[in-house]
Chain A
């Protein structure tokens, strides 16, 4: 359970922070710091078990059918990474308390930070690649939100968008890659996948898997040529840069490479792709960092370079190199987070991050200068700091690597990169803290308070200890993590400052000397560089995005013509073609053997009426009022047909729906054109007619073929057999609706409710804008009856109202055992009330209405859901029903079923949706009619 607690804790904190966005800063920081520290302590408590060799596994089945488990595990690699996330997270939240100004939206900031922390812990602990993908996407999103934290700044918004586009795009590739990997390995569980290297690497999918996974990892870890988003992400507040964009999130790509190392590494593909990318990134980043002037830009490019170093080490494919990468991950997190905090302090105190406007700060800010210099020394890889050891390991490993047969290529380039990193690290410290005093915008900057100084000092202390006591501090963890990465037994690891005189030492000394020389001639070097410098990645990115948008728009316009006719024609034509294809099955469409029923003369007459009415609708479709008469003939014949064919429930529903549908169409027609001009020419009508006839013959013939065949093994038998004994009702149709298939019905009423609300949303604002102008300009285009509310009609409908409601209640109550039920009852209620609108007018009725449609729909859905949940309380599955027979004096024996409660919900929603549609339509019509009357008065 501990792993679930670890993962969920930050998300809970994020929720709590969002909820108390108006609470004081103190409370908010207490939540965030408390959560991070608590997570770190929990993890530390689990550490001894994991380091002793036990992998902690927690699992809950989620969607087993697609291999998705909520599976978490904690192995040494996960422990290392999660430790980084929670440890640095604790320090960063403390630092942020000093960094963020009093008037900033701390609640939002910390909520996003916690969201990020939870997602990162999730990545570290996921034992299921699908789950890991979820968390991976979440980190991209939270990074987007945090980079764009200062919403009012254009560079923040653009940087956030760029980061999201690049890392999100990589995330898409990763989704594909991990899905393929799961398919190739036959499991989505990481622990299983990691043991199937031979199967995966033998799979023809392997190159594709590798490429896609690498795309995901490289974009996340800002590897060349996807590095450009990281410098732009520096628009984020500095705690975010320290946490996400140096210590943890950008390392997620490195972590992924390490995580999948056992299954993906070892091939030539892996070696050349990963090593080359890492090497190029390392050199490129270090080279650019040397010539930047913005403190955070220097740190960003150096981060890119150091990430390249780790990627390169993982690319080597040897266990020792992979272990070195992990140790460097730890070192880098310590010194780079400290350096970012250092840059943040300088920025905070002097108001600038431009190296050319700063200098000699050692005298003014002694503490800041001391730890900043120490951290820079660690970054340069000077002894006796942790950075020295991991750099030595890197040089040592690269000395053994032959790249495409060249034994010298990698060691020389690695030394060059080390030289550059010495140069930019020294430049950072020397230019900032030594030399003539330049203090930017502020006269006398000074060391900040404890909140901002404490965390980086702790980090620098760790960086020193990692150098002095490496085996004590990191030995067991890195050894175990290295063992987890290489899959086999842990390589013999001996971390120490002094390894004797070896090639690595020589390379290291060369790098320091050359680096110092480079820095000495820095000004001259900078002058040699072309004035424009590197091509502007942002401009290229923007141009690419603009081109993509243009092309997509063009493609969309080519496909998306604003013609419904074309889409529908395609739809019907494809359906017909599929049908024709289906008839090719031998014997499939022949007339079956089931005995047919004789048609009575009445049936034949009804059939003629239906056919004639349908043809009349088609022929006279431009005479719209007339057509409504024919439509209602069809509806009536349908209802009769249901009566004849043993479907009383359907007959009741059909006739009720028919009434409201015709009312609806009448109301709409009130405002629509009545007899519009013909649009399509004869060829088109012939073409559509032909398609219609083919479709008609196809469906008709299919129906015939089905009806003349006997039923085989219908599931209906179950419904019939269990209706009375299990559902407590004899009307099997109703029991099916409210019991057996109640979940379907619930979905349906929700859809109906949404339709009702959508109608409201469409018609309520119709009084504004262009629609409102047209409504106000509307003139009566039909003769109206001089008597608005005929007395006979009014009196008759008012008398009918209680009777109608009574019939509705009766139909509702008997529904479980006799034809009827919630659907029909609701329609009857609606019709009874709609009659009042018709007879007595909109205003009269609307004034007397007590319950609005919105509450009806909402309460209906709630009643239905509550009924369903109620069964959970009794330990039965969702929406199980229960019933019993009760005896009341005078009334006698009667039945009560929870299904009736559900049916009440159904009735409420149906009534609400029907009333909503008609009431809103008549409201609009009413407005138009008033406007028309005003025009007449004005004219008179």
Chain B
């Protein structure tokens, strides 16, 4: 039988693989997409460190000992927000560099042969 743990682990794996592949593409937007996928993977990984718990959110009640781990959740919460900050900065950076140079390539061969796309 498939376990939840397996689903999460494989999802982390697939997201990482896709993220790495996309981050290695030659244009800014793909790199941004790759970073987005990688962020999902990393957040999920961090979350998984706290182990999977169903239906027991970390809301304190006296005497309860069986609950989801609050600490990874707090870390992931800030990670999600900071991911947005990072994505926004990278997106803006790539937009500005595109406007500045007319090319959205990051492979070091910015020879302007894509001027046609930019129009």
* B9 engages A680 (CB within 8 Å): no
CA distance A165 to B80 in the complex (A): 46
CA distance A716 to B66 in the complex (A): 12
8 Å CB contact of B118 from A673, A703, A759: A673
* A677 engages B117 (CB within 8 Å): yes
* B55 / chain A contacts, CB cutoff of 8 Å: 646
CA distance A915 to B84 in the complex (A): 12
* B119 engages A823 (CB within 8 Å): no
Q: Kindly provide the distance from the CB of B68 to the nearest chain A CB, expressed in whole angstroms.
A: 4
* B29 engages A645 (CB within 8 Å): no
* B59 engages A921 (CB within 8 Å): no
CA distance A214 to B47 in the complex (A): 54
Which B residue sits closest to A693, measured CB to CB? B17
Q: Give 4 new A-B contacts, CB below 8 A, not counting A569-B24, A638-B40.
A: A599-B7, A707-B52, A758-B89, A762-B92
8 Å CB contact of B83 from A599, A657, A696: A657
Mask of A679-707 contacts with B, CB within 8 angstroms, 1/0: 11000000011011101111111111011
A598 at the interface (CB under 8 A from B): yes
* A646 engages B58 (CB within 8 Å): yes
* B48 engages A703 (CB within 8 Å): yes
A475 at the interface (CB under 8 A from B): no
Q: Kindly provide the distance from the CB of B110 to the nearest chain A CB, expressed in whole angstroms.
A: 7
Q: Kindly provide the distance from the CB of B78 to the nearest chain A CB, expressed in whole angstroms.
A: 5
- Given A716-B70, A779-B119: A679 and B105 interface contact (C-beta under 8 Å): yes
B112 at the interface (CB under 8 A from A): no
A166 at the interface (CB under 8 A from B): no
* A617 engages B22 (CB within 8 Å): yes
* A913 engages B58 (CB within 8 Å): no
CA distance A881 to B99 in the complex (A): 47
* A597 engages B9 (CB within 8 Å): no
* A621 engages B89 (CB within 8 Å): no
* A781 engages B69 (CB within 8 Å): no
Among A21-29, A388-396, A403-411, A604-612, the stretch that binds chain B is: A604-612
Within 8 A of B (CB), among A649-672: 649-650, 653-654, 657, 660-661, 664-665, 668-669, 671-672
How many residue pairs bridge A and B at CB < 8 Å?
Answer: 345
Q: When A and B form their complex, which 7 residue pairs have the shortest distance between CB atoms, in order from nearest?
A: A700-B13, A696-B17, A563-B108, A596-B3, A732-B70, A771-B99, A704-B9
* B47 / chain A contacts, CB cutoff of 8 Å: 642, 645, 647, 650
* B58 engages A653 (CB within 8 Å): no
8 Å CB contact of B51 from A664, A701, A707: A707
- Given A657-B83, A748-B81, A774-B102: A720 and B13 interface contact (C-beta under 8 Å): no
* A187 / chain B contacts, CB cutoff of 8 Å: none
* B12 / chain A contacts, CB cutoff of 8 Å: 696, 699-700, 703
Within 8 A of A (CB), among B59-87: 59-62, 67-71, 73-74, 76-78, 80-87
CA distance A732 to B70 in the complex (A): 6
* A695 / chain B contacts, CB cutoff of 8 Å: 16-17, 20
* A668 engages B95 (CB within 8 Å): yes
Within 8 A of B (CB), among A771-805: 771, 774-775, 779, 781
* A770 / chain B contacts, CB cutoff of 8 Å: 99-102
Among A79-87, A307-315, A363-371, A736-744, the stretch that binds chain B is: A736-744
- Given A664-B87, A751-B82, A771-B99: A688 and B24 interface contact (C-beta under 8 Å): yes
* A572 engages B53 (CB within 8 Å): no
CA distance A771 to B62 in the complex (A): 60
* A650 engages B18 (CB within 8 Å): no
- Given A661-B84, A668-B91, A775-B99: A572 and B2 interface contact (C-beta under 8 Å): no
* B88 engages A759 (CB within 8 Å): yes
* A634 / chain B contacts, CB cutoff of 8 Å: 15, 37, 40
CA distance A693 to B58 in the complex (A): 35
Mask of A455-479 contacts with B, CB within 8 angstroms, 1/0: 0000000000000000000000000
* B70 engages A679 (CB within 8 Å): no
Q: Kindly provide the distance from the CB of B81 to the nearest chain A CB, expressed in whole angstroms.
A: 6
- Given A645-B53, A646-B54: A724 and B60 interface contact (C-beta under 8 Å): yes
A917 at the interface (CB under 8 A from B): yes
- Given A565-B24, A720-B58: A664 and B88 interface contact (C-beta under 8 Å): yes
- Given A695-B17, A716-B50: A818 and B59 interface contact (C-beta under 8 Å): yes
A66 at the interface (CB under 8 A from B): no
CA distance A607 to B5 in the complex (A): 12
* A741 / chain B contacts, CB cutoff of 8 Å: 74
Mask of B8-39 contacts with A, CB within 8 angstroms, 1/0: 11111111111111111111111111001100
- Given A634-B40, A733-B70, A774-B102: A645 and B5 interface contact (C-beta under 8 Å): no
* A572 / chain B contacts, CB cutoff of 8 Å: 20, 23-24
* A38 / chain B contacts, CB cutoff of 8 Å: none
* B16 engages A568 (CB within 8 Å): no
* B21 / chain A contacts, CB cutoff of 8 Å: 618, 688-689, 691-692
* A823 engages B77 (CB within 8 Å): yes
* B85 engages A751 (CB within 8 Å): yes
- Given A617-B37, A646-B54, A668-B91: A692 and B18 interface contact (C-beta under 8 Å): yes
- Given A618-B18, A649-B73, A650-B76: A680 and B26 interface contact (C-beta under 8 Å): yes
Q: List 13 A-B contacts (CB under 8 A).
A: A565-B26, A572-B20, A660-B84, A668-B91, A668-B95, A698-B16, A714-B69, A720-B58, A732-B70, A736-B71, A748-B81, A755-B89, A771-B99
* B85 engages A913 (CB within 8 Å): yes
8 Å CB contact of B70 from A622, A720, A744, A823: A720
A522 at the interface (CB under 8 A from B): no
* B4 / chain A contacts, CB cutoff of 8 Å: 596-599, 603, 645
Q: Kindly provide the distance from the CB of B80 to the nearest chain A CB, expressed in whole angstroms.
A: 5
* A720 engages B60 (CB within 8 Å): yes
- Given A644-B54, A665-B91, A716-B70: A568 and B23 interface contact (C-beta under 8 Å): yes
* A594 / chain B contacts, CB cutoff of 8 Å: 51
CA distance A647 to B46 in the complex (A): 13
A318 at the interface (CB under 8 A from B): no
CA distance A736 to B45 in the complex (A): 20
CA distance A661 to B46 in the complex (A): 21
